[in-house]
């Protein structure tokens, strides 16, 4: 098997928690370098700038971009211009148009571009998709409620323009929804709650519509303490499908289809998919979850709420 020498750029929480262990477990990749302004990994050559890494390491042919979305585009352009294949953490960019621009640039340069949605690799997602494929969907409900202080301590970028606020986790639910529903839906109505001192929302409620009068209601909230909720319920003509724990568990019409653990195996599946795309020299870029978020911002009624302090 060909082993791809890969660099990770933006060496923060997700790079350490998920990318490094999954690369280490993969036969298809070897972590060859990190690119980060402040952080480094023990024993791995470290660069503070992507141009320096590209100049010093012609053996590195791929890079995983794990910095916050506001900075992703510049790194991606530098990598693609140098002929590197690129894996984008979610969300793939800070706007829909910049992701489309990257897609065009990657195609022109013959590079593989993989816009990842890690939640689509949760243990139950493919089973949920297969079960729904032969059913008539009537409606769906997303409940994605978590404690921002627990999951994002001190991460100022999530509150800055382009940081998405509560859609940073909420887009994971939308990435699952767009993967499993047999019909496309679009946002028709949205209500966003912005803390008085922040540029991004702490809570969002969306209504979506799809052909056949499918209605989806989504409730995203970052103020939930105690047990956390990452659930999607889909009503069909033959009963309810329930995805819980962020897509790790699935029950359909009262029968358990998959029982997994949250986050388990998502990134192993994601790197296996990247290896598959590299072997075929194919890109995979689905902007539909990002389009729903952009439409929510475009259509939303804005509600100002209490200031948020970490």
103 to 122: interface string for ligand NAP, x by CB under 6 A: ---------------x----
**Cα–Cα distance for residue pair 34/12, rounded to 1 Å:** 11
Instruction: Please identify which residue in 6, 20, 50, 67 interacts with ligand NAP, judged by CB under 6 A.
Output: 67
Tokens representing residue 178 in the block: 């767009």
Nearer to ligand NAP, 140 or 263 (CB): 263
Nearer to ligand NAP, 38 or 134 (CB): 38
**200 contacts ligand NAP (rule: CB under 6 A):** no
Nearer to ligand NAP, 131 or 308 (CB): 308
Nearer to ligand NAP, 137 or 270 (CB): 270
The residue from 13, 90, 100, 129 that is catalytic is 90
**163 contacts ligand NAP (rule: CB under 6 A):** no
**Cα–Cα distance for residue pair 231/142, rounded to 1 Å:** 6
DSSP 170-234: HHHHHHHHHHH-SS-EEEEEEEEEEETT-SS-SEEEEEEEETTTEEEEEEEESB--SS-EEEEEE
- Smallest gap from Cβ 215 to ligand NAP, in A, equals 28
Instruction: Please identify which residue in 4, 64, 90, 249 interacts with ligand NAP, judged by CB under 6 A.
Output: 90
Nearer to ligand NAP, 25 or 37 (CB): 37
164 to 193: interface string for ligand NAP, x by CB under 6 A: ----x-------------------------
Rg (alpha carbons) of the chain, rounded to whole number: 19
Residue number of the CB atom closest to ligand NAP: 12
Q: Interhelix angle for 288-299 vs 96-109, to 10°? A: 150
Report phi then psi at 192, rounded to 5. Answer: -120, 135
Burial tier of 9 (Cβ tally within 10 Å: 0-12, 13-18, 19+): buried
Nearer to ligand NAP, 54 or 234 (CB): 54
- Smallest gap from Cβ 200 to ligand NAP, in A, equals 12
- Smallest gap from Cβ 69 to ligand NAP, in A, equals 5
The three-class DSSP label of residue 239 is strand
Instruction: Please identify which residue in 47, 131, 157, 220 interacts with ligand NAP, judged by CB under 6 A.
Output: 157
Give yes or no for a contact between 178 and 208, defined as CB atoms under 8 angstroms apart.
no
**162 contacts ligand NAP (rule: CB under 6 A):** no
Give yes or no for a contact between 102 and 283, defined as CB atoms under 8 angstroms apart.
no
Instruction: Please identify which residue in 69, 92, 195, 247 interacts with ligand NAP, judged by CB under 6 A.
Output: 69
Which residue's structure tokens are 């009537």?
138
Nearer to ligand NAP, 81 or 156 (CB): 156
The three-class DSSP label of residue 21 is helix
Q: What is the helix (H) or strand (E) element at residue 277, kind and residue range? A: helix 266-280
Write out the binding residues for ligand NAP, residues 9-48 only, by CB under 6 A: 10-15, 36-39
**Cα–Cα distance for residue pair 200/274, rounded to 1 Å:** 31
Q: Is 90 among the residues known to form the active site?
A: yes
Q: Which residues bind ligand NAP (CB under 6 A)?
A: 10-15, 36-39, 66-71, 89-90, 118, 155, 157, 168
Catalytic residues: 90
């Amino acid at each position: 098997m060909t082993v791809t020498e890969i660099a990770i750029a933006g060496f923060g929480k997700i790079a350490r928690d998920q990318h490094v262990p999954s690369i280490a477990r993969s036969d298809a990749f070897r972590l060859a370098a990190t690119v980060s302004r402040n952080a480094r990994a023990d024993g791995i050559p470290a660069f503070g700038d992507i141009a320096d890494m590209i100049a010093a390491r012609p053996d590195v042919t791929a890079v995983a971009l794990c910095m916050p979305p506001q900075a992703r585009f510049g790194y991606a352009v530098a990598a693609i211009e140098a002929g590197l294949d690129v894996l984008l953490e979610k969300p793939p960019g800070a706007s829909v148009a910049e992701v489309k621009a990257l897609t065009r640039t990657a195609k022109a340069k013959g590079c593989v571009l993989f816009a990842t949605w890690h939640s689509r690799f949760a243990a139950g997602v493919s089973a949920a998709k297969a079960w729904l494929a032969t059913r008539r969907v009537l409606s769906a409900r997303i409940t994605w409620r978590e404690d921002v202080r627990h999951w994002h301590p001190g991460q100022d970028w999530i509150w800055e323009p382009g940081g998405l606020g509560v859609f940073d986790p909420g887009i994971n639910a939308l990435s699952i929804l767009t993967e499993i529903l047999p019909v496309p839906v679009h946002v028709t109505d949205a209500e966003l709650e912005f803390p008085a001192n922040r540029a991004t929302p702490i809570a969002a409620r969306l209504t979506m519509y799809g052909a056949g009068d499918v209605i989806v209601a989504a409730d995203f909230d970052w103020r939930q303490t105690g047990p956390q909720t990452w659930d999607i319920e889909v009503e069909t003509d033959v009963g309810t499908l329930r995805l819980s724990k962020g897509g790790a568990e699935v029950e359909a019409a009262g029968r358990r289809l998959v029982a997994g653990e949250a986050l388990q195996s998502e990134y192993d599946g994601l790197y296996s998919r990247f290896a598959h795309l590299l072997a075929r020299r194919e890109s995979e870029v689905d902007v539909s979850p990002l389009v729903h978020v952009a439409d929510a911002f475009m259509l939303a009624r804005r509600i100002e709420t209490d200031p948020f302090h970490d």
